Structure formats: C-alpha cells, structure tokens
Amino acid sequence: MGIFSGLFKSRDKPTDSTAGSRYTFYMGGSTSGKAVTERSAMQMTAVYSCVRILAEAIAGLPLHVYRYNSNGGKEKAIDHSLYLILHDEPNPEMSSFVFRETLMTHLLLWGNAYAQIIRNSKGEVMALYPLMPNKMSVDRDENGQLYYQYLRSTDEVGGKNETVILKPTDVLHIPGLGFDGLVGYSPIAMAKNAIGLAIATEEYGAKFFANGAAPSGVLEHPGTIKDPQRVREAWQSQFGGSQNSGKIAVLEEGMKYTPISISPEQAQFLETRKFQINEIARIFRVPPHMVGDLEKSSFSNIEQQSLEFVKYTLDPWVIRWEQSIMRTLLTPEEKKSYFVKFNLEGLLRGDYQSRMNGYATARQNGWMSANDIRELENLDRIPAEAGGDLYLINGNMLPLQQAGAFANTQNDDGKEENTDEEVLEVEESGADGDDSGTENPVPKRDNRRGKLV
C-alpha cells in the first residue's frame, strides 16, 4: 500500500487549463480578435442550437433504475430510493428534465457537470443539486486523494462568499473529453477560433446592414471643404443605417462618392457564415439538418441521419451519464443487483409502416408478444387470460410451448403413434389369401381417421 500511496502522491493534481474558472485559453482571445466565453458563444445561433438539441435530447430520455431478477432478466426498481430522484424529482426545486438539461448544458459548455449529493444518515441519496462548473476546481490533498473545491458566492440562493470543500462521494461529476480522465476540456475553449470567426462574421453582417447595406467609401470634393466633420455627419445622418437603405444621394458642388470596400459577395461573406455554422455543428457532432441546414438533406437520407445522430452522438453521452451515475450514486453492494439505464428506443423508432413491419416479423417468429409490442407503442396491455402474453410462431400461429403438439398423439389404447406422416403397412406376398402372388404392397384404410395406414 505504501507503493501505491507514494504513486498517487507523486501524481500531479488535475491541471486541465479549461477546468473550473481557469480559462487560460481565453486570456489571449481568439485569432479573429473576438473574446470567446461560454456566454458569448451561446449568443451564436449555431452554438445555441447545438447545445439546446443535445441538452433537451438527454433530458427528454426516460431514465430508470433497474434490478436483475431471478429469471436472468431485469425489472424496474420502483421501490429504490434513487428511482424517484433520477426519474422524477432530483430535488424539491426542479424536475428531472430541468436537472438533466442544466447539467448537460454545463457539460457541453464547460466540459464538466457537477451536482452536490445530499445523503441521509444511512448514506442514501436524498437529493441532487447542480453546481456551476466555473466555480469548481478539482485538486489532490497531501495523501493524493481527490477533493472538490467550490467557490460559493452571494449570487446563489442563500449563498455567501465562501469556499466549500467536498469529498468525491458528495459530488456527482460527469467529465467530458479530457487528457487526464478526471476533468474534461471545454469544447468552447478548444474550438474558440472557429467560434470566434463565426462571431466576427455575424458582427460584420450586422454592421454592414447598420451602415445602410452600402460599402464605406470616400466623398471627393474638387475644392477645399472648410468643415469636413459637418459634411461627414450630414452624409451619415441621411444615408447611414438600414432605415436609410436605398435612398438616392444628391451631391452638390461637384462632389463624388467613391466606394473603397469590396462587396460582401467578393468577400464570400455568406459562404463564410454558412461554413462556420457547419463547423460548429461538426464540433458538437450534430447533423447540419438539425440546425437548419437542409442543403444536403432529402427525404431519403434524413431519417438515416437522425438514426446516426442517436448512435454516434447521443449514445456516447448516454454511456458517460450512466457510468458516472452508477459509479457515484450506487454502493458497491447495490452495483451487483442494480443498474441505471436511459431508454433510447423511442428515438430509434422508424416511421409507422417500418415499425409495423418489424413488429409483424417479431410476432410471427415468436420473440415478441402482443403486450411487448403494445408497451413499445404506449398502449394498454391485453389481459393475460386473453392471450396478450402468448408467444406465437408462424404457420398455425400456435403458442410456442404447444408447437408440434400434433406430432405425438395417443391412440385409443393410450399408446403414442405418429400421425404426421402416412404410414403404409405392407403385407408380405402370400400372407393373405386374397393378395397371394402380388408384387406391389397393398395399403389398408383406417375408416376411423380416413387415412391410409
């Protein structure tokens, strides 16, 4: 144990520069000259759309606590104290949807999501409260053990300026992509140049229209102007601003207007803005059609893109959430019997016709019952006595446990006989006086069953 304690003592504390409030990426700003923070980035429509799509998708998924049953399957552990907290109400102040939406927003902007765990005297989880990531820092003590340091401020409910030390068992920490596996990097910080360029192009477009959608230029006068400031202000008041766009200028005393800036088309302004939207969507791995870019989407591929969004975008986030919750909120003994699972089936459902065809195949091949299908379609169950739980197979649509029931039946004497095939009883030549000397076998008919025996 001494070797391991020395190893952890020698390890550096988590030093991801974008963790907590230490935004070293932001000190110099972006190469476009625009300051990029989590709040300024959210003013970009593309960033806001991506964050909102992912946060609402994770928040809207059903989240359940399951237990393994004796049959090797699973069932919802509704009686577990954690079920109500995760599924319905993490704390008295917010619903499960709002709680997960908030934490997912933190995770996408800061790269980390934190929630304080409130436990009772038995160690059971009673409530979860979100914590702001920019006020949290992760460090190690002299023994190499992790601890969380939270800067509480007066802008929080009932808060005051103080530093609170929390143990790892008191914090639900969901880290994003990082280098040390303990704290995550902020996607906003890592992509600050792409977002900064998008902010710059949007600001350029706003100023372009604020100037009346006319390029800046030079007013030339053949003589000498005594008060150039007055002429400039008069020109700006009459022709500046989007409200004056399209006005006809009347120049006196031989004055001439000469534009000196290139047009937005020459600067490929619109193309730049469009590319930056796709660039931001690429950062969050969101399909362009989900942020309003339908150029390369069609009715034939948009459903497939939506399924890929679930598989390649949402699924990694879901796994990150599930494992963090199980690691922190379940005791070692509970992990043997319980697990937490998001339900993605609703997002993976195709159109109505595709679902019905899939259900028909599952029903006819005996691995889904009518009630299994009705539960997926959010319909009431058929009573068991009415056959709602029966598993059928194609052909005669018999219950699975009765498949081949007519293969072995009993005759009148109680002995089993095979009735699936026609059995021909052949008399040997000369055994019966009537058929003496015949070469071909003569079948006999059993009139009771109308078959040849």
pLDDT the model gives residue 449: 47
Tens-level pLDDT at each residue, the chain (453 residues): 444 444 444 445 555 444 443 444 444 367 667 788 888 888 888 899 999 999 999 999 999 999 998 887 888 899 999 999 999 999 999 999 999 999 999 999 999 999 999 999 888 899 999 999 989 988 888 888 889 999 887 666 556 778 889 999 999 999 998 888 888 888 888 888 888 888 887 777 777 666 655 556 666 767 776 677 777 777 677 666 555 555 666 666 667 776 656 565 555 666 777 778 888 888 899 988 887 776 766 666 777 777 888 888 899 999 999 999 999 999 999 999 999 999 887 676 666 777 788 888 888 888 899 998 888 777 888 888 888 888 887 665 666 666 655 545 555 555 555 444 443 444 444 444 444 444 555 555 454 444 444
What are residue 371's phi and psi, to 5 degrees?
-70, -35
What amino acid is encoded at 177 in this protein? Answer: L
The whole-number pLDDT of residue 427 equals 42
Query: What single letter denotes the amino acid at residue 328?
Result: T
User: Rounded to whole angstroms, how far apart are CA atoms 288 and 300?
Assistant: 16
Q: What is the DSSP letter of 144?
A: S
Torsion of CA 209, 214, 216, 222, to 10 degrees: -150
pTM of the entire predicted model: 0.68
Per-position DSSP letters for 183-226, written without gaps between them: SPPPHHHHTHHHHHHHHHHHHHHHHHHHTTT---EEEE-SS--S
pLDDT of amino acid 321: 96
The confidence score (pLDDT) of residue 399 equals: 67
Q: What is the largest CA-CA distance in the chain?
A: 146
Per-residue pLDDT, 104: 96
Query: Which pLDDT score is estimated for 205?
Result: 74
Whether residue 267 contacts residue 235, with contact meaning beta carbons closer than 8 Å, is answered with no
Helix 269-284, helix 45-60: angle, nearest 10: 30
Rounded Cα–Cα distance for residues 190 and 177 (Å) = 11
Domain assignments of the chain as residue spans, ordered by start: 22-130+188-214+268-348, 216-260, 350-405, 408-453
**Dist CA 18 CA 5 (whole Å):** 28
Distances (CA, A) of 225 to 222, 236, 237, 254, 390: 9, 17, 18, 12, 96
SS3 of residue 238 by DSSP: helix
Q: How far apart are CA 348 and CA 334, in angstroms?
A: 30
Nearest to 284 by CA among 41, 86, 122, 23: 41
Which of these, 309, 342, 319, 304, lies nearest to 60 by C-alpha position? 342
CA distances from 240 to 45, 137, 216, 218 (A): 27, 49, 10, 14
Q: Are 96 and 87 a contacting pair, CB within 8 Å? A: yes
**Contact indicator for 130, 105 with CB cutoff of 8 Å:** no
Q: Which two tokens stand for residue 271?
A: 């193309």
Q: At what angle do helices 45-60 and 192-210 cross, to 10 degrees?
A: 130
Residue type at 393? Answer: I
Nearest by Cα to 51 from 85, 101, 120, 10: 101
Contact 184, 176 (CB under 8 A): yes
CA distance 313 to 283: 11
For residue 341, the model assigns a pLDDT of 92
pLDDT of residue 107: 94
